Amino acid sequence: MRRVFSRPQRWRIFYAQMLDEMMELGMNSLAIVAIVSVFVGAVIAIQTSLNLLNAPYYMVGLATRDSLILEFCSTMIALILAGKVGSNIASQIGSMRITEQIDALELMGLNSACYLILPKILSLVILMPFITIFSIALGISGGLTGMALTDYLTVDEYIEGIQRDFTPYYVTYSIIKSMVFAFILSSVSAFWGYSVQSGTQEVGRNSTRAVVTSCICILVFNLLLTELLL
């Protein structure tokens, strides 16, 4: 971490790398985030309406909104991205290690840890709040679509539930969690990729370890952050 968070040696290259990583790690993940968010939002709304038959009608929209904001759109999206983005980071850096590209950077006098890892961490930490808000909006819209396509609840009743007793701090809490999770999955994945010693088989093993370790750390920190922030 000390080598990663040192001062970049060439700022122009660093900024260019950050833009590339934002496209590769963040923007290219929006499609899967959108698909999962819409369908999960619809499923949560339908299941909530089925299990709250005797509750006030507005509870469906309220429960769907709070479930998406508090847990799904931060934690579950981070777990999904750990599989997609985490394995990508680990395999990319691991491949550079076994092809001796990292050794070449060191011979050129560059700090390879900062050069390769820092843009990935900062890009994901910066983009993750926007991805989370994007997921929240699509999840709530998915719930609205689910209600429109079924007869469990009217659209107006669902919208009233969404607007009822809204707590703005929940969004702040979700964004804080998403940034912590982004740092975890990017740094852990980069560590396992950077730790590859030899052979393509080890690249595959370390990519798997990166995903598993990131998921476990995300779940542990989810518990800790929930205890601290709520």
pLDDT tens digits, the chain, 230 residues: what are they? 888 888 887 888 888 999 999 988 888 899 999 999 999 999 999 998 888 877 788 899 999 999 999 999 999 999 999 999 999 999 999 999 898 888 898 888 888 889 899 999 999 999 999 999 999 999 999 999 999 988 888 889 899 999 998 999 999 999 999 999 999 999 999 999 998 887 788 898 999 999 999 999 999 999 999 999 98
Q: What is the pTM of this model?
A: 0.92
Does residue 6 belong to any structural domain of this protein? no
Does residue 76 belong to any structural domain of this protein? yes
Instruction: Supply the range of the domain harboring residue 135.
Output: 11-229
Does residue 1 belong to any structural domain of this protein? no
Does residue 51 belong to any structural domain of this protein? yes
Count of structural domains, the chain = 1
Does residue 4 belong to any structural domain of this protein? no
Does residue 108 belong to any structural domain of this protein? yes
Does residue 180 belong to any structural domain of this protein? yes
Does residue 160 belong to any structural domain of this protein? yes
Dihedral angle of Cα 57, 58, 59, 65, to the nearest 10 degrees: 140
Q: How many CB atoms lie within 10 A of CB 54?
A: 5
Q: Which residues contact 164 (CB under 8 A, 6 or more apart)?
A: 58, 61, 62
